[in-house]
Structure 1
Amino acid sequence: MKPRVIICDDERLARERLVRLLEDIGGYELVGLAEHGEQALRLVAEYEPDIVLMDMRMPVMDGLSCARQLAQRESPPAIIFCTAFDEHALEAFSVPAAGYVLKPVSRESLREALARACRVNQLQLENLRQQPTRSERTSSRSHITARTHRGIELIPIDEVRYFLADHKYVTVRHEHGEVLIDETLKELEEEFGDRFIRIHRNALLSLTYLEGLEVVATGQYRVRIRGLDERLVVSRRHLPELRETLHRV
Structure 2
Amino acid sequence: MTSLTVLIVDDEPLARARLARQLQKLDDCEMLGEAGDAEAALQQVRELAPDLVLLDIEMPGRSGLELAGALSALAAPPAIIFCTAHDEFAVPAFATAAVGYLLKPVAVEQLAAAVDKARRLSKPQLKAAAASDVQAETTGRRQIKAVSRRGVELVPVESVRCFVADSKYVVAHHSGGETILDESLKELENEFGERFVRVHRNALVAVAYIAGLRRDGGNYRVLLDGIDERPQVSRRLLPGVRSLIEEMV
State the TM-score, normalizing by the size of structure 2: 0.49
State the TM-score, normalizing by the size of structure 1: 0.49
- Rg larger in 1 or in 2? 2
